[in-house]
Structure 1
Amino acid sequence: MPDLLLELFSEEIPARMQAKAADDLRRMVTDKLVAEGLVYEGAKAFATPRRLALTVHGIPARQSDLKEERKGPRVGGPEPAIAGFLKATGLASLDEAKIQRDPKKGDFYIALIEKPGRATLDVLADMLPVIVRTFPWPKSMRWGERSARPGALQWVRPLHAIIATFGLETEDPDVVKFSVDGIETGQTTYGHRFMAPAAISVRRFEDYEAKLLNAKVVLDPERRKDTIATDAKQLAFAQGFELVEDQVLLDEVAGLVEWPVALMGSFDKEFLSIPDEVIRATIRNNQKCFVVSDPKTKKLTNKFILTANIEASDAGKAIVAGNERVIRARLSDAKFFYETDLKTKLEDRLPKFDSIVFHEKLGTQGERIKRIELSAAEMAQLAGADVEKAKRAAHLAKADLATEVVGEFPELQGLMGKYYALAQGEDASVAAASEEHYKPQGPNDRVPTDPVSVAVALADKIDTLIGFWAIDEKPTGSKDPYALRRAALGVIRIAIEREIDLYPRGLLEKRIKRVRPDLSDVAISEIGDSFQTFFEDRLTVQLRDQGARHDLVDAVLGLGSGEVGLLSIVRRVEALGKFLDTDDGKNLLAGTKRASNILSIEEKKDKRSFDGAPDEALYRLDEEKALAKAIDQVKAEAGSAVAREDFAAAMSAMAKLRPAVDAFFDKVKVNDDDPKVRENRLKLLNEIRAATRAVADFSKIEG
């Protein structure tokens, strides 16, 4: 079947936009093909700095013919309805319609519409210009003489040429004829801007890709990335060094070049006195170059690797020299910033924060730092940290935000605080907290391990969450401008991995008046409910991502966990999962569900619940007595185990119910003829349900 080749050739497309643009082009074209009844076999899109390209193979040569029956009005119906039916279906008269017999509703007209399929070439000629004109660039521009005209094309950069061919592999393809803003489609593209700028005539994707390669253009961005990474590693290895890999930078650089050429440059060794991260940020951000390390020391060397877009006649010497001049100047600035920062102690920077607003409703950064200090002292006791060190760490943790280096490179916040704290002689744990209190910043980031860092990290995140809850700025739907979900997941991960049991409602109720002293107890209680629910939702997401069964999470949370800590919830879910993997667990679950089902039916029938303790005097069978005794024993043992948070022991205690429950259902008729006995036995079933709720709501467990 025929294939489509589409290329949109323009001035340089920003690297950050290329991957999404290629995906958008593939999606828009293939979605429209499918909507037109043209099911294709495969599609792949590509991007270079100067072009978007798409190949779609296995497209039918034409649409299938369409045959459709359209129901019309009743025979003898109103004239306007009949006239509308004839117009909509294109029939000249009712003589061209069929009559469908219906003894119940009456006879009605049916139109048989046959619509021949169009040639795919014509369909493409209609759809492709619409896609070009409606392409979703995040930013676009107009240019040239036509730019002032209504409906002028807007594109990310000036569009120069469009290739659109369609045809069988064994034949010369047809050009899909259309025009966009005066740009006529054809079969001409252009190679590398400097090394092969001449026009190239192409037919289909295979020769298009091959001819571009001969013209010094690597079409596939993945191939460009592989080339850059491989050549850079080899350059570093040849001198006994290692490339410091950077996937984000690699993605960006691959979008800046069509013919990647890796070159190595160097800078003065005196700049190695700057922290490695500052050197890397300087070279990466300003020149898009990779840095190189010594494999023995893991420290950076005074080398860097750049990616040129040309095979220069001087082997790249001029390009390297130009980059070296710029990097030398940038590193001089960074060295000056770093050395200037070292002259001022971190605590001497803190008065500035009293005039920096954190949020108009939450006060200044200075006020927030004071709250974090108070909270860090409290968290220190839970984390097993030295209280004074935690307070000192919280006092200094944000100070580096006012430094020159962090002002230039915001991504180094925290890390520079650690360097400056160590330089002024702070305790190692206090210094580490400056960097680690921001962690974890995502699902793949590690949690802090030092107790002081743990205390400050919890204090920082909890203060942020409580503050925004206090002013009713909670996340809504997909909107979370203050990254509160991420902060909550950070608190949860720290609590679980560092084994600290945190109670969200209690955390809020104890601290919210530090932000909103005007809140009443009733308002605090309502906000606490919302805060607790938010954390439970985040914990549910976290547990499910870790592979926990959703029904077990629901069963534990279904108890209402207002006074249960986050870690306790996790341990209950884990213990419940292990218990239900045993025969005792499976059989007890079955028995409990049977009891719940019977109770639900009878409660609905009697329009009442069967709460209250059963009457021992009404027990007639040994199995009733044995079950009652087992329930009392399990309640005591499971309750004691839950109180000391030994959930494995609680499950072991509940396992003792199993034989008594099995015997009860085997020998006892619940709906006895004597109403009092029946009611007493239903109360006994309710006791089973109540006993198992010491750990989880078994009714929410599947199976």
Structure 2
Amino acid sequence: MSELLLELFSEEIPARMQARAAEDLQRLMSDKLHEAGLHFTLARTYVTPRRLALVVEELPTAQPDVREERKGPRVGSPQAAIDGFLKSAGLKSIKECEERDTGKGVFYFAVVEKKGRPTADVLPAIIVDCIQQMPWPKSMRFADLTQRWVRPLHHVLAVFAGTVLEGGVPMGGNTELAFTSRTRGHRFLSPGEISVANSSDYLVKLKAAKVVPDPRERRSLILAQCRDRALKEGLTVKSDEGLLDEVTGLVEWPVVLMGRIDPQYMPLPPEVLTTSMRTHQKYFALQDKNGTLAARFLVVANMDTPDKGAQIVAGNERVLRARLSDAMFFWEQDQKVHLADRLPALKDIIFHAQLGTVGQKVTRIEALARHLAGLIPGCNADQAAQAARLAKADLTSGMVGEFPELQGIMGRYYAGIEGHAPEIADAIAHHYRPLGPTDLCPSAPISLAVALADKIDSLVGFFAIDEKPTGSKDPFALRRAALGVIRLILENGLRLKLRDVFGFAYSGFYDQGGFEQNQPKAVIAQLLDFFADRLKVALREQGVRHDLIAAVFALGDEDDLIRLMARVKALQDLVESDAGADLLAAYRRASNIVRIEEKKDAASYDGAADPAKFIQDEERTLFKGLEQEAQIARKRIANEEFVAAMGALANLRAPIDDFFDRVTVNDPDPSLRSNRLRLLSTIRATLNAVADFSKIEAKAEA
């Protein structure tokens, strides 16, 4: 068993692509090695800005020998068929074949023994295939070369069992990048070449050459240095996992340095300071013991310097001053124009070619927020409408133009400065929330109304113009919007009828001359199906079964998510009980019998059974039980007493079991048979009135 060490050395790989590239290289190499019969125990990857490396441990030194039997033509077949078989098997004479009686005649069989090739001879082609198949999000072609790579590829280190593999990577034309055992260390701190023999040698020599190849180790080093630097100043690092991941991909030898923020810029909103530092400069923000932003920042350099980073810090402080000077200018200038005075400019911003301008969207969400205010306890309709009207105004501000990440946040600051109520200012800041599964949901009534209005308007609009998500594509983030609506409703216990809300939102578009008035039913139906799918995703981690959500949604009359979840919970308690499991089994049995007999008879048995035709007590008992329990279930559901409604259904278990034990459905008497099939159909209809039991998966019967 031997080891393969592969390194692809290039110019700087974008940080956002590194982790995925390492996964892709390991996947491609692993798959191709297994296909070649070269099985190994472990593969691990390393990635830095300039290199993508893979180590495969305990590879065999040769492929296994293969013995393969091939069945040929029947003995006595035409010579052309025999010659073709011999050629495909690599044989020269039919005498090299065996004749076997298969029970269906005597056939020729060829036994082909293929000796495994040395691994060192197989690896070069595998490596080249992997390089050519790497799925970079974006790649480059260089000069007159045809080989594409994310950035200019300088060398390919390929060492197996301590020996450089023969061959190289064809780059196009007559150019080939020959395999080598040499690599390079840090671009500035150790620019010379390094010769390596194996992965241990590789890791040790790279460390000595000021390169930390393992991204996990670099990440830990950066975090530890940041915390140590902050602690010495009595500060803490503002948590930012995304920035930590990005910076890890920007350096090979991390050195954390601390700089100062010019005090004249500290009056800027903290979000402006942190966004400027994070987005443009990749700095970590620091906080004091009270959680207040400190006038310090941390920068991760890729250098050790004789002056302990003094010049690096000074340069970064100078660049930050320029950035914050621009931010201060925008901050001061933006305050000279009131949010309300910015609204006319929204008419010049296109929201979507088919959905109008941002100004038109604001008009729609203002009306929708006012409507929703009447459905949200404690929500002032006038304030909700005003917050919706001002929610997008900061899009025309200089600060948001410079830092788009601050939209909504700057609106809150400007609204507060202008003297608007805190509830309105907060609603402006929170109307984009939640932005993801970990983002907090607004809970204030006005914030709820505006956040819901914004998301529902987008969902209805894009579904109406048939811009629905497809597969992995969701360019308008409609899945996120739907999940946001679901969270806003469920986490705040809102009792909304989605069908009515969607209809009101749709009316906002045709009030603006956008859509036909006879279209909303189809759009609403599609949206409800979409919400059913999103609800399954949203509740999966809570252990709520997706098939039960589908069973309740399938009724077509349930669009109140709070009530729907109560029904689903009660249904789950039922089907996971012994009585419920038996009831579900009986439902399936009844449904299957009715379906089979309807198909055979080309008839429907959906009608009510005739009590006068019952001749067995079990028929009468079941019929009476279905009437009584169905009536109780309907009443309980109307009162939203879903547990009691499911309990009524559970009472049907015994009479249904007795019916199947003692009554012959397919009686020779056609009249009795038809009546009993209608009784079975009534079982199906009774249960389906509570939930579509056909949607419930069989695992519930376990």
SS at match of 2:148: coil
| Deviation per residue, 1:393-431 (Å, 9 max, x gap) | 110111111111111111111111112111211111211
Q: Match of 1:43, as an amino acid?
A: A
- Residue 275 of structure 1 and its aligned partner are, at CA, apart by 1.0
Q: 1:127 aligned to 2:126?
A: yes
* 1:541 pairs with 2:537: yes
In the other structure, the counterpart of 1:630 is 625
The letter of the residue matching 1:532 is L
1:11-52 Cα distance to aligned partner (Å, 9 max, x none): 322222222222222222222111111011111111112211
SS in 1 for 2:297: strand
Cα deviations across residues 78-108 of structure 1 (Å, max 9, x unaligned)? Answer: 444333323222222323233333453x433
Q: Structure 1 residues 581 and 22 mapped into 2: Cα distance closer, same or farther (>3 Å)?
A: closer
Could you tell me which residue of structure 1 aligns to residue 325 of structure 2?
Answer: 332
Q: Is structure 2 residue 520 aligned with structure 1 residue 524?
A: yes
The question of whether the paired residues in 2 share the 8 Å contact of 1:642 and 1:694 is answered with no
Relative to structure 1, the CA distance from residue 276 to residue 122 in structure 2 (aligned partners, 3 Å threshold; closer, same or farther) is: same
Instruction: Provide the residue aligned with 1:698 in structure 2.
Output: 693
Return the alpha-carbon distance in structure 2 between the equivalents of residues 133 and 598 of structure 1: 58
Superposed, which structure 2 residues align to 1:370-389 within 5 Å? 370-384=363-377, 385-389=379-383
Corresponding position: 1:176 with 2:171: no
- Structure 1 CA distance, aligned partners of 2:222 and 2:274? 18
Paired residue for 2:172?
none
- Aligned partner of 1:314 in structure 2 is 307
**Other-structure match for 1:239:** 233
Tell me the secondary structure at the aligned position of residue 59 of structure 2: coil
Residue 22 of structure 1 aligns with which residue?
Answer: 22
The aligned residue for residue 341 of structure 1 is 334
Distance 1:11 1:519 in 2: 52
Amino acid at match of 2:423: S
SS in 2 for 1:688: helix
State the alpha-carbon separation in 2 of the partners of residues 656 and 447 from structure 1.
41
> Hey, what's the Cα distance between the residues in 1 that align with 2:279 and 2:641?
52
Does the CA-based 8 Å contact 2:370-2:384 persist in structure 1?
A: yes
* Structure 2 counterparts to residues 45-64 of structure 1, below 5 A: 45-64=45-64
| TM-score (normalised: structure 1) | 0.92
8 Å CA contact 1:504–1:531 kept in 2: the answer is: no
Query: 3-state DSSP class of the match of 1:474?
Result: coil
Task: Report the equivalent of 1:138.
Answer: 137
Supply the distance in 2 between the matched residues of 1:686 and 1:153 (Cα, whole angstroms): 67
Please report how far the alpha carbon of residue 668 of structure 1 lies from its aligned counterpart in structure 2 after TM superposition: 4.7
Q: Is the 8 A contact 2:6 2:159 kept in 1?
A: yes
> For 2:31 and 2:577, how far apart are their aligned partners in 1?
50
Tell me, yes or no, if the aligned pair for 1:505 and 1:562 is still in contact at 8 Å: no
> 1:127, CA displacement in angstroms?
2.4
2:211 aligned to which of 210, 217, 224:
217
Q: Cα gap change, 1:185/1:677 in structure 2, threshold over 3 Å: closer, same or farther?
A: closer
* SS class of match (1:515): helix
- In the alignment, is the contact (CA less than 8 A) between 1:48 and 1:255 conserved in 2? yes
Match for residue 352 of structure 1 among 324, 345, 354: 345
Deviates most, 106-115 or 399-408: 106-115
- 570, 578, 592: which one pairs with 1:575? 570
Structure 1, residues 424-466: CA drift from partner, whole Å, max 9, x if none? 1111121111122111222222222111111111111111111
Structure 1 residue 354 displacement after superposition: 1.1
Matches of 1:602 and 1:124, distance apart in 2? 63
SS state at 1:411 partner:
helix
Kept in 1, the 8 Å contact 2:46–2:52? The answer is yes
Partner of 2:656: 661
TM-score, with length taken from structure 2: 0.93
Deviates more, 1:666-675 or 1:483-492: 666-675
Distance 1:125 1:652, change over 3 A: closer
CA contact (8 A) 2:528 2:559 kept: no
Equivalent position of 1:170 in the other structure: none
Cα deviation 1:35-77 (Å, max 9, x = unaligned): 1110111111111122111110010100011222223333343
Cα separation, 2, equivalents of 1:10 and 1:587:
64
Deviation sequence 1:585-632 (CA, Å, 0-9, x none): 334334434433443454445443333333333344444444333322
Instruction: Call closer, same or farther: CA 1:573–1:7 in 2, change over 3 Å.
Output: same
Structure 1 runs (4+) deviating above 6 angstroms are none
Question: C-alpha separation between the residues in 1 aligned to 2:86 and 2:615?
Answer: 81
Query: Mapping of 1:195-594 within 5 angstroms?
Result: 195-296=189-290, 298-384=291-377, 385-516=379-510, 517=513, 523-559=519-555, 561-562=556-557, 564-594=559-589
Residue in 2 that maps onto 1:645 = 640
Instruction: Summarize the Cα distance change of 1:699–1:199 in structure 2 as closer, same or farther, 3 Å threshold.
Output: closer
Distance 1:261 1:142 in 2: 34
> Identity over aligned residues, as a percent?
50
Q: State the AA in 1 paired with 2:526.
A: S
- The answer to whether the Cα contact below 8 Å between 2:552 and 2:558 also exists between their aligned partners in 1 is no
Listed as ranges, the gaps of 5+ residues in structure 1 are: 168-172
How far the C-alpha of 1:220 sits from its partner, in A, is: 0.5
1:520 Cα shift?
5.3
Give how far 1:582 is off: 3.6
Q: CA contact under 8 A between 2:532 and 2:549: conserved in structure 1?
A: no
SS in 1 for 2:26: helix
Structure 1 residues 396, 201: CA separation in 2 closer, same or farther (over 3 Å shift)?
A: same
Once the two structures are overlaid, the 10-residue window that deviates more, 543-552 or 656-665, is 656-665
Q: Which residue of structure 2 aligns with residue 110 of structure 1?
A: 109
The partner residue of 1:687 within 667, 682, 686 is 682
Contact kept? 1:618, 1:677, Cα under 8 Å: yes
1:608 counterpart residue number = 603
User: Which of 21-30 and 177-186 deviates more?
Assistant: 177-186
Structure 2 CA distance for partners of 1:161 and 1:513, relative to 1, 3 Å: same
Residues 182, 531 of structure 1: alpha-carbon distance in 2 compared, 3 angstrom cutoff: closer
SS in 2 for 1:69: strand
Give, in whole Å, the separation in 1 of the partners of 2:134 and 2:467: 35
Q: 1:700 to 1:249 in 2, by over 3 A?
A: closer
Residues 193 and 564 of structure 1: CA distance in aligned 2, closer, same or farther (over 3 Å)? closer
- What are the Cα deviations for residues 564-597 of structure 1, in whole angstroms up to 9, with x where unaligned? 4333332211110112344443343344344334
Shift of 1:176: 0.9
Q: Is the contact made by 2:558 and 2:564 (CA closer than 8 Å) also made in structure 1?
A: no
Deviation at 1:308, TM superposition (A): 1.3
Rounded Cα–Cα distance in structure 1 between residues aligned with 2:580 and 2:92: 74
Q: Work out whether 1:83 is the aligned partner of 2:68.
A: no
- The more displaced of 270-279 and 89-98 is 89-98
Task: Say which is worse superposed, 421-430 or 57-66, in terms of deviation.
Answer: 421-430
Letter in 2 for 1:241: L
Match of 2:155 in 1: 161
Long gaps (5+) in structure 2: 170-174
2:498–2:559 CA contact under 8 A, matched in 1: no
Alignment of 1:145-156 (within 5 A): 147-148=143-144, 151-156=145-150
In structure 2, relative to structure 1, the CA distance for the partners of 1:672 and 1:12 (3 Å cut) is closer
1:479 offset after TM fit, Å?
Answer: 2.2
